[in-house]
Structures are given as C-alpha cells and as structure tokens.
Amino acid sequence: MSHPQRILVTGGAGFLGSHLCEALLAQGHHIICVDSFYTGARQNLATMRDHPRLEIIAHDVCVPLSVAVDQIYNFACPASPIHYQRDPVQTIRTSVLGAINMLELSKRHGARIFQASTSEVYGDPMLHPQPESYWGNVNPVGPRSCYDEGKRCAETLFFDYQRQHGLKIKVARFFNTYGPRMHPDDGRVVSNFIVQALTGRDITIFGTGAQTRSFCYVDDLIDGVMRFMAAPEALSGPLNLGNPEEFTIEELAREVLDLTGSSARLVRHPLPQDDPKQRCPDITLASEALGWAPKVPLRDGLKRTIAYFDRLLANSPR
C-alpha cells in the first residue's frame, strides 16, 4: 500500500490471524485485532501486544461492530474439526452472521474486504486437484457441515454483496496450512503428529494413511493473502491458496518421526465420517494472476513448527 491503512483483522489472535497482524504491522499499517478468544490465544499476540499501532478488541463477530476502517480481513471462525464441532451452531453463526456483520461494516466505510474461506467448500472432492470452478461434493447434514456449509454460505454472501452493493471483495480458499502458533490440541494432522511425537505418545493415523493432503507453510500463505488483497479489484476470487505438492498422511507421520527422533508407534483408527480422501489445490490462477507459489519445503517448515512446539511443551508441563 502507498500509505498506512486502518485494517481490521477478525480472528486476529488465531493461528493465521496473528501471523497476518504481524505482517501488516511490518508494512506500517494500524491494525485493529478483533477476537472472541474462543479458539484464539493472547499468547499468539505476545510479540506485538505492546505495539503502538495494534489495538486488541475482545469481541464476537456475531455481534455488529462499529469501527472506521479502510480494509477488513475476515478470519474469524474455528477452523479445526475438534473446535468447530464443539458448538456447531455457533460455528455456523460465526461464519454467516460474522460475514454479514463484516460486509455491512465494509459497505458503511467503502472498505475492501477479504474472506478467509477454505478448501472444505470442495467437501470430499470427486475432481483432483481442485480448481476454483469445481462446485464440490459436500454433505449438507453431516458432522462437518457446520463448517463446510457455513463457509460456502459466507462465500455466497460475499458475492451477493458484491453484485448487489458493489463491495470490493476478495475470497480465498485456504488449503491445509501449518506452522508456529497452531493450537496444540486442535486435532489437525500436523499439530497432532508433532505433539504426539514430542511427548512419546502413539501417532494416530485415521484410515489407511494413504489419503493425501497438501501442506502450506504459514509464511507462504500470508504472502499469498497480502498479494491477493493488493491485486486489482477485478480479481475478486474465489482463489485457491495452498501448496500443490501432495503427501500421504503416512508420509507426513514418518517425516515427523524422523525429524523429532521419536520412537512413537503408528496406530491406525477408523476414518471419521466425510473425511476427504484427497485434498490438493490447483493454484494456476494464483500463480498467473499474483505470481505466487509456495517456497518453503515441507521438511523445512516442519523443522520450524517442531521447534515451536518443543518450546511450547517445555514451558507448559502436560
């Protein structure tokens, strides 16, 4: 940006939101970090808590908010199955009412607004890899539906507000992202495997371990987010952001065991309902429109993430 902006980041104390706040502060902007602290953690903001250009507001986006801003990044929503299934109705409220409240704020101030959507909008995909044109294969009434359909509805709202009110929107679909500040108990595969390996517990693999995921290091994702937000208004999305390199779950587990030197055993459990068998982004659009591609190899990113969890576990006896 050519001059400092007032930027609202909802979910700003979360894993991704805190990294975004940090990156935006580094660019010289004034950041208003809004978080209900349902899954976000004040500890994630520790390195910037006293920054003169950071305001932290404890607030639930399901309730309207009145602040004057130039830009909005809507990152508020529990994003791991354990957290979003704990209170599924609240998850849907956060996705839908949160989107409406932030879109109304955007409309009042003419603020450009970014929606952090998800690869979960593709469900258990029947097309591989997944391009943005794919409409998905989503169960609307399953245990994951509160998140999948909540995010799909939020996308609908963003594009309807764009068509109906001329809002300047950006909608990005994030694929599996990992790195420091992930919650140790969020049930996501990277944090699960690392915490289990470091504490010597069995590594739990759901299903055969042959299902695939693509893992994007957080710094790469945030770089894509900021490039997308700065891109011309005509590029509104949806836009996939993720790493197109696929790994099986078992390959990830063995990489974590190798890097941690753990002697933990691999133990298999039944696959949860509606768990996708394959998940990999087609990032042609992001590559061509933004000149963006992930740079951090999985092994390097895992080393940094393991070092973070090692420090975290050393400081919090479990």
Q: What percent of the chain has pLDDT over 70?
A: 97
Q: What's residue 199's pLDDT?
A: 93
Rounded to whole angstroms, how far apart are CA atoms 67 and 212?
42
Q: Residue 132 half-sphere exposure, CB side, CA atoms within 13 Å?
A: 18
Picking from 187-191, 294-298, 301-305, which range would have the lowest pLDDT averaged per residue? 187-191
Q: What's residue 240's pLDDT?
A: 98
Q: What phi-psi label fits residue 300: left (phi over 0), alpha (psi between -120 and 50 degrees) or beta?
A: alpha
Q: What percent of the chain has pLDDT over 90?
A: 82
Q: What's residue 317's pLDDT?
A: 58
Q: What's residue 78's pLDDT?
A: 77
The confidence band for 1, taking pLDDT boundaries of 50, 70 and 90, is very low
Rounded to whole angstroms, how far apart are CA atoms 287 and 50?
36
Give per-residue pLDDT as tens, 5-19.
999 999 999 999 999
Provide the residue count of the chain: 318
The confidence band for 65, taking pLDDT boundaries of 50, 70 and 90, is very high
State yes or no: pLDDT of 103 exceeds 70.
Answer: yes
Q: What's residue 127's pLDDT?
A: 93
Active site residues: 147
State yes or no: pLDDT of 110 exceeds 50.
Answer: yes
Picking from 75-79, 84-88, 107-111, which range would have the lowest pLDDT averaged per residue? 84-88
DSSP letter, residue 111: -
Mean pLDDT to the nearest integer, 46-50: 92
Give per-residue pLDDT as tens, 226-254.
999 999 999 999 999 999 999 999 999 99
Strand extents, DSSP E, the chain: 6-10, 30-35, 54-58, 71-74, 112-118, 169-174, 177-178, 203-206, 212-214, 216-217, 239-241, 246-248, 266-269
The confidence band for 316, taking pLDDT boundaries of 50, 70 and 90, is confident
Q: What's residue 80's pLDDT?
A: 65
Rg, C-alpha atoms of the chain: 19
Strands 203-206 and 266-269: parallel
The confidence band for 255, taking pLDDT boundaries of 50, 70 and 90, is very high
Structure tokens of 221? Answer: 């994702």
Q: What's residue 79's pLDDT?
A: 74
The confidence band for 269, taking pLDDT boundaries of 50, 70 and 90, is confident
Calculate the alpha carbon distances from 238 to 97, 154, 155, 232, 277 in Å: 20, 12, 8, 14, 23
Q: What's residue 188's pLDDT?
A: 86
Model pTM greater than 0.85?
Answer: yes
State yes or no: pLDDT of 81 exceeds 70.
Answer: yes
Contacts of 43 (CB under 8 A, 6+ apart): none
State yes or no: pLDDT of 139 exceeds 70.
Answer: yes
Task: Fold for 6-179+216-244+276-295, please state it.
Answer: Rossmann fold (3.40.50)
Name the β-bridge partners of 206. Answer: 269
Q: What's residue 289's pLDDT?
A: 98
